[in-house]
Structure 1
Amino acid sequence: MSAQAHAINSIDDLTPYQKAAVLSIALGDEISAKLFKNLSKNEIEAISKEIAFMKKIDPNIYKAVVKEFYQMLKAKEYATSGGIEYAKEILVKTLGPEEARRIIDKLIKLLESNVGFGYLENIDPKQLVKFIQNEHPQTIAVILSHLDQSKAAEVLSLLPKEIQIDIVVRMASLENISPNVIKRVSEMLETKMEDLSGSNVEIGGIRAVSEIINRMGRTESKSLIDQISEKNPDLASKIRDMMFVFEDIIKLSNSDIQEILKHIDKKDLTIALKGAPEELSKKFFSNMSSRAAETLKEEMEFLGPVKVKDVERAQKAIVDIVRRLDEEGVISISGGGEEMLE
Structure 2
Amino acid sequence: MGMPVKIRDNYKSLSGAEKSAIIFLALGEERGSRLMEKLDEDEIRMVSRAMAGLGNVTSNLVESLLRTFTERFANVGSVVGSYDTTERMLARFLPNDRVAEIMGEIRGPAGRTMWEKMSNVNEGVLAAYLSGEYPQTAAVILSRMRSEHAAKVLPMLPPNLRLEVIERMIQIESVQREVLLDIESILHNEFMANYARTHGSDTHERMAEIFNRIDRETLGEIFGDLEPVMPESMQRIKQLMFTFEDLLRLDRVSLQAVIRRCDTGQLAIALKGAELQQRDHFLSVLSERARMILQDEIENMGPVRMRDVHDAQAEIVQIAKGMADAGSIVIPQTGDADAVVY
Q: Which protein has greater RCO, CA pairs closer than 8 Å, 6+ apart?
A: 2
Q: TM-score range, shorter-chain basis?
A: 0.3 to 0.5
Query: TM-score under structure 2 normalisation?
Result: 0.45
